[in-house]
């Protein structure tokens, strides 16, 4: 193996998974300090990957999510031939391993998943009980190194400009991320978030709501029920959300990509779980509170509640989340 290997990583397609992928990136940099690591991922991921110092550059994935487009993958793979010594394939699909295969990258590493014999040269065994523990699964592909929690860099100048523009101050607002791209079974109700927002504002904090354009209907409901919230859903770039969340006193989130962002910028985080489990995808933060009712039907890992009641989140009382936030607010700030 070259002393300065060039490494291509086929990245995941979700924000949270991309954050957790940094556990692999940092391990690879430890094992190969002079390595040049490139990530192939959807265009949306560029601002996120740009906050990871281990990465040299992002290459935009040429195929839309879920599409095979074998000819495009073959052509793109041939374009990359001779450029990389190693490839790491993070998604579990067969098609995700095709570009490194067509590029004839000598070492192609990944979990077996969709019967990828031949496409991968190094299949890393993953025990069944570990398959939902995303961060540890990614890290295991390195076959060595030290497991480190993700750490995203923050752009101080951009943060200062955003705070001024939105009339927010460092440490004087609570960030809330009430959406969940995965599906409604991950989403604590709008009325509950509104109750939490009112409780936080009563303590003297401002409340800022974050999310994508897809979350704007949810944040509008919360803003109507809790007047005074700063609704930023769909109004900030991903890099802006990173910088603003880093300035919050505490964050409260469903199990979502922005939950992992908050953890990676060091913001104390209250993570609310419904259809998923904090045992599998916890925020990798030093200061965190995990709120989960642990009902017999949970975790089901479904996008929509199969029983139709969503009691795992609908019966989660606002007071319990307020108490979790209070415990974080009472902790001394980091030196």
**pLDDT, tens only, 145-203:** 999 999 999 999 999 999 999 999 999 999 999 987 767 778 999 999 999 999 999 99
Does position 48 have pLDDT exceeding 70, yes or no? yes
Q: Are 250 and 217 in contact (CB under 8 A)?
A: no
Full-model pTM: 0.94
Domain locations in the chain as residue ranges: 6-140, 157-330
For residue 65, name the pLDDT band (cuts at 50, 70, 90): confident
CA distances from 245 to 78, 149, 270, 324 (A): 41, 17, 13, 18
CATH topology (fold) of 6-140 = Rossmann fold (3.40.50)
Q: Label residue 131 by pLDDT band (50, 70, 90).
A: confident
Q: Comparing C-alpha atoms, which of 13, 63, 57, 19 is closest to residue 35?
A: 57
pLDDT tier, 334 (very low <50, low <70, confident <90, very high otherwise):
low
Residue 209 tokens, joined:
């709501």
In which band, very low, low, confident or very high, does the pLDDT at 2 lie, cut at 50, 70 and 90? low
**What residues contact 315, with CB distance under 8 A and at least 6 apart?**
293
DSSP E strand boundaries for the chain:
6-10, 36-41, 55-60, 86-89, 107-110, 122-123, 173-177, 206-209, 230-231, 250-254, 269-272, 288-291
Name the CATH superfamily, with its identifier, for domain 157-330: Glycogen Phosphorylase B; (3.40.50.2000)
Whether 6-140 and 157-330 share one fold: the answer is: yes
CA 252 – CA 200 distance, rounded (Å): 11
CB 236 within 8 A of CB 212: no
Q: Average pLDDT, stretch 246-262?
A: 97
CB 269 within 8 A of CB 287: yes
What is the rounded CA–CA span in Å between residue 209 and residue 218?
10
Q: Before 268, cis peptide (omega within 30)?
A: no
- pLDDT for residue 27 is more than 70: yes
């Amino acid at each position: 193996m070259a002393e300065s290997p060039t490494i291509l990583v086929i990245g995941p397609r979700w924000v949270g998974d991309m954050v957790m992928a940094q556990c692999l990136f940092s391990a690879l940099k430890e094992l190969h300090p002079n390595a040049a690591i490139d990530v192939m991922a959807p265009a949306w991921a560029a601002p996120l990957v740009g906050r990871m110092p281990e990465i040299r550059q992002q290459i935009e994935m040429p195929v839309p999510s879920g599409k095979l487009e074998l000819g495009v993958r073959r052509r793109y793979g041939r374009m990359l031939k001779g450029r990389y010594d190693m490839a790491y394939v993070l998604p579990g699909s067969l098609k995700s391993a095709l570009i490194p295969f067509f590029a004839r990258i000598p070492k192609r590493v990944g979990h077996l998943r969709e019967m990828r014999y031949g496409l991968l040269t190094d299949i890393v065994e993953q025990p069944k009980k570990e398959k939902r523990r995303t961060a540890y699964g990614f890290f295991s592909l390195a076959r060595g190194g030290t497991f480190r929690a993700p750490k995203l860099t923050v752009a101080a100048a951009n943060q200062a400009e955003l705070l001024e523009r939105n009339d927010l101050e460092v440490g004087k607002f609570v960030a809330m991320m009430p959406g969940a791209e995965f599906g409604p079974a991950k989403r604590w109700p709008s009325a509950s978030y509104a109750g939490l927002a009112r409780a936080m504002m009563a303590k003297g904090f401002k409340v800022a709501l974050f999310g994508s354009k897809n979350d704007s209907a949810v944040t509008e409901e919360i803003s109507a029920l809790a007047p005074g919230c700063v609704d930023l859903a769909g109004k900030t770039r991903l890099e802006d959300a990173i910088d603003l969340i880093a300035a919050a006193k505490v964050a409260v989130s469903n199990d979502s990509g922005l939950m992992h962002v908050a953890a990676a910028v060091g913001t104390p985080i209250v993570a609310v779980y419904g259809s998923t489990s904090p045992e599998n995808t916890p925020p990798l933060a030093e200061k965190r509170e995990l709120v989960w009712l642990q009902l017999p039907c949970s975790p089901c890992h479904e996008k929509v509640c199969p029983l139709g009641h969503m009691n795992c989140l609908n019966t989660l009382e606002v007071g319990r989340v307020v108490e979790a936030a209070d415990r974080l607010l009472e902790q001394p700030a980091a030196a």
